Amino acid sequence: MATVTYDKASRIYPGSEKPAVDQLDIEIEDGEFLVLVGPSGCGKSTSLRMLAGLEDVNAGAIRIGDRDVTHLPPKDRDIAMVFQNYALYPHMSVAQNMGFALKIAGVPKAEIRQKVEDAAKILDLTDYLERKPKALSGGQRQRVAMGRAIVREPQVFLMDEPLSNLDAKLRVQTRTQIASLQRRLGITTVYVTHDQVEAMTMGDRVAVLKDGLLQQVDSPRHMYDKPANLFVAGFIGSPAMNLVEVPITDGGVKFGNSVVPVEREAVAGAASQGDKTVTVGVRPEHFDLVDGSAQGLSKDEPAGLAVTVNVVEELGADAFVYGTAHVGGEAKDLVVRVNGRGVPEKGSEIHVMPRAGESHVFATSSGDRLSD
């Protein structure tokens, strides 16, 4: 097994001045499952292909273990790649597909057979070894592609959106299988996806990219609790974090008809950048429903922020309220999680306040996180 290091690695495509990947700097531990995630065009697949040797590295370096592989051909990097479209040979059986790379490498037939059978047992493919790919389901074909990677016993697994061709139920099932399989094998894995739920549920760490730049690399829990900037805050989490620009006032920030206390350092940080407002981030589960009487305010001036209920998504124990609030003269969409037993009616008005200590504060101008 091995570590993987992106050392300020950049890729600039011919005819373009802007890097597709700009000075990517990540150290991946031995046996770690790292997920690269971001919107389309952010550079995540290019980053993976640079590691695979399928894209040139125009600046910086890439190392696998102690070896500098920046300019090595793919066959000399000791990696195995699993693609989105499976890339199986249709005229070969499952066993032949899984063992083909070993056959090309001149491994004895008996050893190939043993490795293929061992991998098939792990992947629950033993009964399908003599079938052709066309006789398999999408999930089974993806497991064959995984098996082909496993039998090679590489130092690093590379996976490029391997679940995107599967239906929703099978994706959930297969991502669990891949994550548990990787932990069992202990092989360093770099996994690319555009699905942040997939990233959060599979990765030991998650690296978020935007426009070729690394925004944050962290554990899923820490990234959810402390996103580094507005982009990560809005990208990670389903439903997404609510981001509301609010004015700074004495004692905190003005949230509707109430003042929400925030850290003094956050307010001072915003003031130092010349901002008179900050952007407050609140997860849907961190809103509390309030009324005017709770804070001694009149009915004409109820507490918190008024939200008009547009849609209610009932999930049983919980429900998500999708509504509209007016902040600074503009309509703003908000999502609030409420108890499934006390769901407000569509068209009604509720008042919400961020729960104490659960709001995130970002600089409006730079987007950087200001709160601890």
pLDDT of residue 296: 43
pLDDT in tens, the chain (372 residues): 699 999 999 999 999 999 999 999 999 999 999 999 999 999 999 999 999 999 999 999 999 999 999 999 998 999 999 988 888 999 999 999 999 989 998 999 999 999 999 999 988 899 999 999 999 988 889 889 989 999 988 999 999 998 888 888 888 888 888 898 899 889 999 999 999 899 999 999 999 999 999 999 999 999 999 999 999 999 999 899 999 998 888 878 888 888 888 888 888 888 788 788 889 999 999 999 987 444 444 455 678 899 999 999 998 889 999 999 988 778 999 999 999 888 999 999 999 999 888 899 999 888 999 887
Cα separation, 55 vs 74, in Å, equals: 10
Within-domain flag for 368: no
Same domain, 95 and 35: yes
Are 26 and 157 members of one domain?
Answer: yes
Split into its structural domains, the chain has a count of: 2
CA gap 199, 196 in Å, rounded: 5
User: How high does pLDDT run on average in the chain?
Assistant: 90
- Tokens at 340, concatenated: 């499934």
Q: Cβ of 184: how many Cβ atoms within 10 Å?
A: 9
CA 177 centroid distance within chain:
18
**Rounded distance between C-alpha atoms, residue 234 and residue 352, angstroms:** 20
Task: Judge whether 135 lies within some domain.
Answer: yes
The pLDDT tens digits for 82-130 are 988 888 999 999 999 999 989 998 999 999 999 999 999 988 899 999 9
Does one domain contain both 192 and 140? yes
pLDDT, position 295: 43
> What local confidence, expressed as pLDDT, does residue 294 receive?
42
Q: For residue range 128-154, what is the model confidence (pLDDT) as tens digits?
A: 999 999 999 888 898 899 899 999 889
pLDDT of residue 1: 64
Where residue 332 sits, what CATH number does that domain have? 2.40.50.140
Residue 301 has a pLDDT of 64
Q: Are residues 268 and 152 in the same domain?
A: no
Contact predicate 211/235, CB 8 Å: no
Q: Does residue 369 lie in a domain region?
A: no
pTM for the model: 0.89
Which range of residues forms the domain containing residue 24? 4-234
CA distances from 56 to 60, 70, 124, 201, 325 (A): 11, 8, 37, 31, 48
CB 142 within 8 A of CB 84: no
Residue 133 belongs to domain with CATH number: 3.40.50.300
Of 234, 263, 284, which residue is a domain's last? 234
